[in-house]
Each structure stands twice: as C-alpha cells, then as structure tokens.
Structure 1
Amino acid sequence: MVKLKTLIFDLDGTLAETERDGHRVAFNRAFAEVGVNWHWDVALYGKLLAITGGKERIRYYLDLYQQDFRPPIALDKFIAELHQTKTRYYVELLEEQGIPLRPGVLRLFNLAREQGLQLAIATTTTPENVMALLRTSIGSHALDWFDCIAAGDVVRAKKPAPDIYDYCLQKLQREPAQCLAFEDSANGVRAAVDAGIKVVVTVNDYTREEDFTGAALVLDHLGEPGQPCRVLSGDLDDFEYVDIALLQRLHGENTA
C-alpha cells in the first residue's frame, strides 16, 4: 500500500477567506489608484472567479465588460503593472488587519508536522501573497513549514490545468498516489484530479454551488474539536473533523 506522505494546499479560499474581503478590495483600491472607473462588487467578483490568476482575471473583465477601454500603455504592460499595484494593496491589507485561517487549517498543519508529513502549497496567486498570508496569520516561522510553495507564474497554464500540481510533484519528488490535495473550487479539483491526486474540498460562499465531481470528500470546513464540519459529499465515517487518521483512511484506497 502506498503511504500518505504529503499534503498539498491551495491558498485563496482554502486556507483563508481571502477572495471577497482581501483580493477584491485590493483590486478596487488598485483601480482607484490608476484612475480607472471600475468597481468589482461581491456578486461581480464571484463571476470573475471563474478565471484563475489575477492578471488573467483582469483581462477577462476587460473582454467582457470594458471592450472600449484603451490603456495608456501596451495592454500586457498595463495589466502587469495594475496587478503589481493590486498585490501591494493586498499585502498592506493583510498587514493592517489580517485575514484569519479557516477552521481546522492550523490544527491540521501542526498535526501533519508532528506526524512527519510534508506540507506544500499549489496556488495561482503570487508568491508575495502566499508569504503575506502565512506571515500575518501564523508568523514568519511558518514559511519554513512548506517543502514546496508553487505559486504565480511558475507554470504557464493555471488551474484548471494540472500544471501547478505537476510542478509541485516534481519539486517534491513525489508520486501523485503519495499525496492529498485540499481545494475550494471546481477549477482546483480538476487541476488536482488531472494530476492524479485525491482531493478534499472545503467550500466557501463563492464556490459552494460548483461541481466537485472527482473529489474524495466535500466539506464546509475542516472542523475543530467542538466545531464539527458538515459533509456535503463523501463519508466522514465516525470523524467529526478532519485529522490525519481520517486522511489516511481516505488515502487508503491507493494501493501499490
């Protein structure tokens, strides 16, 4: 039987509820700074989340809602600089007020480390955003907990393409059957499944109605003692929250 060796986590929406009150706010601040009269409200941002990657999301918005927009510089350069401005605002927002980790995340990190499991991150957000969230929600020491942080533009094709997971597996020198992934979106599930990795989903307000076909387990969150998680798809057996024993049981269907 192939043993579980590594837990690979998506970031935004999975580790913390960063999309609505983090990235969306930072985008709007960036729009104001560069002088464009755009505003992404909660509902519109939910639609834009169909596209992974911040630069890709800006381009998608322009194609759908701002066809007449003429940037003051070359479009690719404009998008890249706008996204850099947004990243600056996002990091500032985290440093000013922080965004807490979702239930069960820190507990599971600590359990994994205690039991000798590797931790990794596979995300479409920028490395700066990853570092900022870990630093502000846990502490700078948490940056050393992860044997691979695969983020941003290290691969050309972003989720739902499996490339970011393939990259992570290569860096970790792991086989897909040795890993479990944690995601919050249908795009993330497709990416992990196409890389051959089993997936646990924790939904959020933006993703709870998405199609998670292929996921091994779909929950509202990872849960805590006294704060049990709710099963949306799959089987928790007798567990009230996600711990290493449950993950090993889920993973046990992988055989050599």
Structure 2
Amino acid sequence: MALPQALLFDVDGTLADTERDGHRVAFNQAFQDAGLDWDWTPELYGELLAVAGGKERIKHFIETKHPTHPAQADLTAWIAGLHKAKTQHYKDLLAAGTIPLRPGVKRLIDEARDAGVRIAISTTTTPDNVYALLENALAPGSSDWFEVIAAGDVVPAKKPATDIYLYAMEKMQLQPSECLAFEDSYNGVRSSVDADIKTIITHNGYTQSHDFTGATLVLSDMGEPNAPFTVISGDAGSSTYLDLALISTMF
C-alpha cells in the first residue's frame, strides 16, 4: 500500500470545530475583560475568518469596522495583549472539555501512528492554542506524537501564503510529493496546494461555501465506520470514511 511519508494537519476547523464556540467566545471574553463593548457575533466572526491569525483579525476589525477603543501609544502591543488574554480564555474552554475533535480525527491519527506514517501540524493559530487542543481533546501527551508543530508567528506570512507548509516540510526534510495536507478553508487550501501538496478538505459550517479548487478530495468530515462522510468533490471510491486505505489511492 503506497502511502505519503507524512500527514500535515491544519488545526482550527480541521481537527476540531474551534471557531464559532471556541475562539469567538474567547475573543469576546477578552474584550469584556478589557472594558470593550465589542461583540463578535457568529455572523461577524464568519466575515473576520477571511483574515488568518488572531492578532491580524483584531487589527483588521479595528481598521474596517472602526470600533471605539482607548487611544494607544503602541497599538500593536495592545492588540498582542488582547490576544494573549483571549488565548488564556480559549485554553480554559478546552480544559473544560467543551470542544471535541471532529469525527474521524483521532481514529486517523491513531492509524497513521500505528502504520509509521509521520504526522505534523501546520497552522496559523498560536502554539499555545495547538498544545491546549491536543492535550485536552486528543490525549494527554499527544503533542509529542507530532514531529513538527509549525504554528503562529514561526513564519512571517500566514495562510494563504505557503510559508507554514514550506517550514514544516523543511524541518521534516520532505518534498511536497511525500506529504498529504488536511485543511478546511479557502486560505488553507491555497496555502497547501500552492506549496504543491495534495490536500483533503473537510469543510465546516463557516467554510462550506468556500472555493476549494485544487483539493484532491472535499468531504463533509473524515467520517466514522458507523457515521459515513459525504463526498462533496473528488473520488472516494466505495469508501465511507477516511482511512489509510483511501489515502493510498491518492499516491
């Protein structure tokens, strides 16, 4: 069975539905702590997701929506402080067990480890967010399962730029043809596909209308043996859930 050398996973929206009831809630809690009357509704947050990166999202919100906020001598540092507070709220939500993994994620990761397929993270979210999700939603100590955790500001340009994937592959000494990426959004698929990596999409409520041109396979989720996925585009053959046997047909 021909398999990729490594599986490269996006995090938010791909491993777990973290955006609407995780990051968005944490942002609003941080805003409240800071005495701000900002309220990122589910609809507004859906718009803001077009901007990759939490600090970048706050900056974009200020520049485009012009909300009232205290005058700042160093706006960048102030935004970074807001984002730090948001990250702690997000970690608290994860610790409370309110954000489970999406269907099929743990099963596929376990199968890959058993088969000796290398795994890594390639995301725009901060490292703290990644570790918190893995340790609370996947398994204690599971951060160590991933050979590389490429996250946050480790590269200068975030998705849809290819930087984070190029960084991960460089650290793993792999070529694009030896990897398979998992994404959920337009920014994500542009980042991975433009890095010449075959990509599987599992969309979610925020991204189901995105343009996934270039993806090898677009699914509703990874599915489980007792809960089949829906194929949006691409060829899954007779498979009803994503496993290494299906992945091998792509290599």
1:96 corresponds to which residue?
Answer: 96
Equivalent pair of 1:218/1:234 in contact (CA under 8 Å): yes
Residue aligned with 1:94, SS = helix
| CA distance in structure 2 between the aligned counterparts of 1:94 and 1:46, rounded to whole angstroms | 21
- Please tell me the residue identity of whatever aligns with 1:169: M
1:82 corresponds to which residue?
Answer: 82
Q: What are the Cα deviations for residues 175-226 of structure 1, in whole angstroms up to 9, with x where unaligned?
A: 0000000000010000001111010000000000000000000000000001
Identity across matched positions, percent: 53
| CA distance in structure 2 between the aligned counterparts of 1:19 and 1:170, rounded to whole angstroms | 29
1:39 corresponds to which residue?
Answer: 39
1:205 corresponds to which residue?
Answer: 205
Residue aligned with 2:141, SS = helix
1:171 corresponds to which residue?
Answer: 171
After alignment, is 138-147 or 31-40 more displaced?
A: 138-147
TM-score of the pair, normalised by structure 2: 0.97
TM-score of the pair, normalised by structure 1: 0.95
Equivalent pair of 1:26/1:89 in contact (CA under 8 Å): yes
In structure 1, list runs of 5 or more residues that go unmatched. none
| CA distance in structure 2 between the aligned counterparts of 1:68 and 1:222, rounded to whole angstroms | 42
Kindly indicate whether residue 161 of structure 2 is the aligned counterpart of residue 161 of structure 1.
yes
| CA distance in structure 2 between the aligned counterparts of 1:161 and 1:208, rounded to whole angstroms | 21
Residue aligned with 2:22, SS = helix
Kindly indicate whether residue 230 of structure 2 is the aligned counterpart of residue 227 of structure 1.
no
Equivalent pair of 2:16/2:102 in contact (CA under 8 Å): yes
1:148 corresponds to which residue?
Answer: 148
In structure 2, list runs of 5 or more residues that go unmatched. none
After alignment, is 210-219 or 94-103 more displaced?
A: 94-103
Equivalent pair of 1:155/1:167 in contact (CA under 8 Å): yes
Equivalent pair of 1:71/1:78 in contact (CA under 8 Å): no
| Corresponding residue pairs, total | 251
After alignment, is 130-139 or 41-50 more displaced?
A: 130-139
Residue aligned with 2:72, SS = coil
How far has the Cα of 1:67 moved from its partner?
6.0
Q: What are the Cα deviations for residues 224-256 of structure 1, in whole angstroms up to 9, with x where unaligned?
A: 001110000111101111100111111x2xxxx
Equivalent pair of 2:27/2:86 in contact (CA under 8 Å): yes
